[in-house]
Chain A
Amino acid sequence: MSRVWAVARLMISEGVRMKIALVFLMLIGAVVVGLPFSIKGDGSLTGAVQSFMQYGLSATGLLLGLLTILMARSLSDEVANRQILMVMTKPIPRWQFLLGKWLGMTLLNAAFLICSGATIYGMVHYIKRTHPPLDPRLDEGELNNEVLVARHASKAMLPDFGADVELEFDRNVEEGAYANVPDFDPAREKLRLLRKHEARWRIVGPMNDRVFEFQNVLCDRSPGHFIQLRYRTQVTRYAPDEIFRALWQVGDARSGTPVYRIPVRHVIDRWHTVRIRSDAVAADGSLQVIFRNRNPFEDERQWPNVMEFRADHPLEVMFVVGTFEWNLVRLLVLVQCKLMFLAAVSLLAVTVFSFPVACLTSLTMYVLAGTRAFIMEALNFESVNRASMFSSVKEFFLQSLMHAYMAICWVIPDFGRYDAVEDLVNGRNVGLVWVLQGMSELALVKTAILLGLAMLLFQRREVAEASF
């Protein structure tokens, strides 16, 4: 390993002394330090911090990704400038040389990432201290409780509508409702009925109640601790003031917990958070929440609203499981895993191509990894006719393209799956399991595959050939 470390050390020296690394670091510095002075958000302290973190972390990830691709130029330059001739005549196996390069890039990225993370952390506290407050007491409380924290979210459980679906399906069959339906598929019909029941359950008419059940709310139930109810509702018809008034009842007397009634007056179709004492949660981690669609404010007028809790805006109970600092660290680990993968991609590219082509290839891979989910959905290969690929030229071309793309997608990870910026900004816990998944997929398996391939190709290269 001493030879690997020697190459890694050289890579680090080069990275530190490379002007391009300096330019990127200055750019990152300008973004991280300059953003707080230019971003206003929605005017609130929370908005300002959230906007800063969103842009700052995204820009840092992007710039470090580009820097990683450009750092692979080190190997390309060594071949072009022939320093490789001096190194390859020393007793270092080629795979160790490549591993050293990768290790150097990884350590450099880690150092840059730590500096960027520390600066972002410092700037968050700078904004917190200097941002002109709308309401000093509420602003800081909101920031501390909803952003600078790591919260776990439990979603409300859906009731089991299986029996209702079977009942309705049998009734429809008896009534002959499906008699004239061509290509009738009972499973599909039952799924449709299930969706209908769920949608109906999500709607709460005027003066009606809806009971939401939660499980595994494993929060600290001791006095002085809180849980948060996060929700967003829509209405079938907007009231003139765009405000709804309702009552939340949290806790279940049957489980021996106190019951809290919280009247709310909130803007329609916006996210809202309600804080409740955590002793409303039962000892077994269950929690009952009832939404009462009625006006608790006797002196205020309420329009009769039909409220809807949409599936894409699920009702959640959130509780603190960690600190913002560790959440930030875990996010940076995920970013580092992506950079480790990118380092392997760019090294593979420079072992095959000269630098400009290698750079373009790595960039393409980076973009593909970032937009993989979107591209997969857009291409929708499921729709390709699964006839024999040799049935026609068009089929051959289409299916070849599909197989090639699927093979690439097997190697290229979905970076979007490991994008934790949104979670950090919203004060959600960046789970350790998630981070471990990212490390194993990005930093271990896929990096190892690409690095192995790069080593194999580099081993077969005649490094002294001019047309490398």
Chain B
Amino acid sequence: MAERTLPVVQTAGLCKTFRDFWRRPRVDAVKDLNLDIRAGEVFGLLGPNGSGKTTTIKMLLGLLYPTRGRVSVFGRAPTDVAVKARLGFLPEESYLYRFLVAEETLDYYGRLFRLPARIRKDRTERLLDMVGLRHEAKRRVGEFSKGMARRIGLAQALINDPEFLILDEPTSGLDPIGARQIKDVIRELGKKGKTILLSSHVLADVEDVCDRVTILYGGQQRATGDIAELLRRTDMTQITAPPLSSDTLEQVRQLISRLEKKDIIQVTHPRVKLEEFFLKIVEEAQVAKVRTSGARQGGAVPDFLQKPAEATREQVIEGLLAASAHGSSAVVRMEPPGFDHRPSPARELIDQLLGPSRAEPATPSPQPPAPGSPSAEPARQKQSADQSVIDSLLGQSADQREDAGP
């Protein structure tokens, strides 16, 4: 994956409290959230219902204002129109105009981005192709099923070829085909270098596509890190092999027992995922041309969705300096009492870029420490704590996972 240097989203001490009519605090939806999403990564925002995921996203989009703390997107306030021109957003439900037909819907959103008519028409057709709704282009979206509306929602989020895509529960209401397709689109966009923020409580979705995750619970950040690192188990080893005879297995068992003084916990035949099985059945039905009035198989991700242009070193510095200079006006800044005035990541990045080790790639601030370094041990402890949170959210005990086998 490309080296990621530019922070697309930064939050510091972000809080949101909903108040009642008399301005009395009612709910603390988000508490002291510190996020740092880098350019080009697929970032997952995980948490159960009511954990503050959607509230966080709405603050990133300028739809809600923080009670305290600060938030910046592309180094600017989220309410800035220039920021919104670089964003794509799919809300938790596709809130569409029921009286518009599918292509009018996409055309309308394209107009808000000031796309020329020719480009709007071209992108509308290709996006409808991508989400498998080309044949329903003239149908009112009010008549669409929830899954079809989600597909239009995804298409509108991509109409401007966004650099940063925010997807709130993108697979909710979708059948497994749609869910798989959206995940494929996310992967594809990730490969093209788009930055994606994915919020979901469907853990499998997040696990499938995300590079890094933050887990929220009760509005608070409970764990953050690289998903591969967070989920890696170092207390077990898994060997995957073609089918083995019982003799061979016995010899393997003896070998392990002799060399490692340990025994094999479980030996099973792996199962395919239900998702894969289901998709295979549907694929067979599609080959047999069974009629359906719903969404059809989507097409490839259109090639107008391009890799964001990489900023030159000078542009990066200028952008960061501008963000720094406009910190009080362009960025929402509401510092809580006792707010930590450490050098901002932007400033650190500038220092790194201008510093003596110019040949070295700039390092993002929340980088996990290298194994064996002095700070590795506390990090491992934190990682272990993070793992327990994931386990509790997954609803799996350690034993259950061990039972899962290879």
Cβ B99 vs Cβ A6 within 8 A: no
B 247-304 contacts with A by CB, 8 A: none
Given contacts A3-B112, A87-B112, A91-B82, contact A463 B97 (CB under 8 A): no
Which B39-62 residues have C-beta < 8 A from chain A?
A: 58, 61-62
Chain B's nearest CB lies how many Å from the CB of A94?
Answer: 9
Task: Judge whether B95 and A464 touch: CB under 8 Å.
Answer: no
Q: Total interface residues on A, using CB and 8 Å?
A: 28
A13 at the B interface (CB under 8 A): yes
Contact string, A81-115, partner B, CB cutoff 8 A, digits 1/0? 11111111111110000000000000000000000
Q: Is A14 at the interface (CB under 8 A from chain B)?
A: yes
Q: B185 within 8 Å of A by Cβ?
A: no
Residues 73-126 of B at the A interface (beta carbon under 8 Å)? 81-82, 84-85, 87, 89, 91, 93-97, 99-100, 104, 108-109, 111-114
In the assembled complex, the Cα of A84 lies from the Cα of B97 at a distance in Å of 10
Residue A436 interfacial (CB < 8 Å)? no
Q: Are B64 and A86 in contact (CB under 8 A)?
A: no
Q: What CA separation (Å) do A3 and B64 show in the bound complex?
A: 23
Cβ of A86 and Cβ of B81 under 8 Å apart? no
Q: Kindly state the separation between the CA atoms of A462 and B78 in the bound complex, as whole angstroms.
A: 13
Quick one: which of B61, B64, B96, B113 contacts A83, CB cutoff 8 A?
Answer: B96
If A90-B109, A92-B112 touch, does A82 touch B84 (CB 8 Å cutoff)?
A: no
A45 to B300, CA, bound (A): 72
Partner of A82, one of B18, B93, B104: B93
Q: Give A256 to B258 CA distance when docked, in angstroms.
A: 140
B90, closest chain A residue (CB): A86
Q: A130–B174 Cα gap in the complex (Å)?
A: 64
Are B95 and A86 in contact, CB atoms less than 8 angstroms apart?
yes
Q: In chain B, what residue has the closest Cβ to A92?
A: B112
Q: B-side binding surface: helix, strand, loop or mixed?
A: loop
Interface set, chain A 3-20, CB cutoff 8 A to B: 3, 5-6, 9-10, 13-14, 17-18
Partner of B65, one of A83, A88, A462: A462
Flag if A85 contacts B111 (CB, 8 Å). Answer: no
B161 to chain A, nearest CB (A): 13
Residue of B62, B114, B156 near A86 (CB, 8 A) is: B156
A89 touches B63 (CB 8 A): yes
- Which residues in window 413-468 of A have CB below 8 A to B? 462-465, 467
Docked pose: A93 CA to B84 CA in angstroms = 10
Q: How far is the CA of A87 from the CA of B159 in the complex (A)?
A: 13
Q: Is A2 an interface residue (CB 8 A)?
A: yes
* Alpha-carbon gap, A45 to B112, bound state (A): 54
Contact: B81 with A91, CB < 8 Å? Answer: yes
Cα–Cα distance between A17 and B98 once the two chains are bound (Å): 10
Which single residue of chain B is at the shortest CB-CB distance from A5? B111
Q: How far is the CB of A6 from chain B (nearest CB, A)?
A: 4
The total of Cβ contacts below 8 Å across the A-B interface reads 78
B113 touches A90 (CB 8 A): yes
A236 shortest CB reach to chain B, Å: 68
Does B91 lie within 8 Å of A2, measured CB to CB? no
Residue total for B at the interface (Cβ-Cβ under 8 A)? 31
The one of B21, B87, B100, B108 in contact with A6, judged by C-beta atoms closer than 8 angstroms, is B108
Residues of A within 8 A of B156 (CB): 86
Cα–Cα, bound, A87→B94 (Å): 12
Contact indicator A14/B113 (Cβ below 8 Å): no
For the complex, what is the distance from the CA of A93 to the CA of B94, rounded to whole Å? Answer: 22
B89 touches A89 (CB 8 A): yes
| A48-93, CB < 8 A from B | 81-93
Contact at B63–A10, with CB atoms within 8 Å?
no
List chain B residues, Cβ under 8 A from A84.
Answer: 95
> Which of A86, A87, A88 is most buried by chain B, counting CB atoms within 10 A of its CB?
A86
Question: If the complex has contacts A3-B112, A462-B65, are A14 and B99 also in contact, measured as CB distance less than 8 A?
Answer: yes
Residues from chain A with a CB closer than 8 A to the CB of B85 are 91
Question: A91-B84, A93-B81, A464-B63 are contacts. A86–B111 as well, Cβ < 8 Å?
Answer: no
Residues of chain B with a CB closer than 8 A to A85's CB: 58, 61, 63, 89, 91, 95
Chain B residues lying within 8 Å of A87, measured Cβ to Cβ, are: 112
Measured CB to CB, the nearest residue on chain A to B83 is A91
B87–A89 touching, CB < 8 Å = yes
Q: Mark B181-203, 1 if CB is under 8 A from A, else 0.
A: 00000000000000000000000
* B99 A81 Cβ-Cβ under 8 A: no
A6-B64 CB under 8 A given contacts A17-B99, A85-B95, A93-B81: no
Bound: A465/B61 CA distance, A: 13
Are B109 and A88 touching (Cβ within 8 A)? no
- Which positions in B face A, CB cutoff 8 Å? 18, 21, 58, 61-65, 81-82, 84-85, 87, 89, 91, 93-97, 99-100, 104, 108-109, 111-114, 153, 156
List residues of A whose CB falls within 8 A of some B CB: 2-3, 5-6, 9-10, 13-14, 17-18, 81-93, 462-465, 467
Interchain residue pairs with CB less than 8 A apart (28): A2-B114, A3-B111, A3-B112, A5-B111, A10-B100, A10-B108, A13-B100, A13-B104, A17-B99, A18-B99, A82-B91, A82-B95, A83-B96, A85-B58, A86-B91, A86-B94, A86-B109, A87-B112, A88-B63, A90-B112, A91-B81, A91-B85, A91-B114, A92-B81, A92-B84, A462-B65, A465-B64, A467-B21
- With A89-B87, A90-B109 known, 19 other A-B pairs at CB within 8 A are A2-B114, A3-B111, A3-B112, A9-B108, A82-B95, A83-B96, A85-B63, A85-B89, A86-B94, A89-B61, A90-B84, A91-B84, A91-B85, A91-B112, A91-B113, A92-B84, A92-B112, A464-B63, A464-B64
